[in-house]
Each structure stands twice: as C-alpha cells, then as structure tokens.
Amino acid sequence: MSSAGQTLFMKTKEKFGIAVRKRRKELGLSQEDLGLRIGLDQGYVSRIEQGQMNITLDTMEEICKVLDVGVAEMF
C-alpha cells in the first residue's frame, strides 16, 4: 500500500475512534463499561478511540450497536 493509502486508512481509524469516544461520553459510559458490553478490555477500547487498532467489521458493528448508532453515522 502506498503511503497515501496508509494515511487515508489511518485517518479512517482515527475518525472512527473519535466518533466512538464522543458517542460513548454522550451516553455516560466509561471505556470499561463499553468494553464489558462488547467483550473487550478497557485498554483495547482506549486504543480504538486513539485510532491505533485495526478492528474487524464485526467489532465495529458491535460497538455501534452498543452505542445505539449506525455504522455510517460514525464517518
């Protein structure tokens, strides 16, 4: 993958992470609360929110389900 492609990919992960953090806080959930609801630990949720994790589509859908938001709305 070219560096331009990697930059675009990184921006997508970061954008999703920012949206997760914003929505999680709107709902008054801690990272630990969100993690427990989707079967992940708090550290993993933190790395998602920081745009450091390359998560699966299944995980993305599960996060959005818990956050009561559509996947498309996160972008």
11 pLDDT tier (thresholds 50, 70, 90): confident
State pTM to two decimals. 0.85
Backbone angles phi, psi at 51, to 5 degrees: 75, 25
With beta carbons less than 8 A apart as the criterion, state whether 36 and 65 touch: no
Taking the C-alpha atoms of residue 62 and residue 68, their distance in angstroms, rounded to an integer, is 10
Q: What share of the chain is helix, strand, coil (3-state, %, to 5)?
A: 70, 0, 30
Taking the C-alpha atoms of residue 70 and residue 13, their distance in angstroms, rounded to an integer, is 16
Query: Domains, the chain, ranges and CATH?
Result: 3-74 (1.10.260.40)
- Specify the DSSP class assigned to residue 15: H
**pLDDT at 2 > cutoff 80:** no
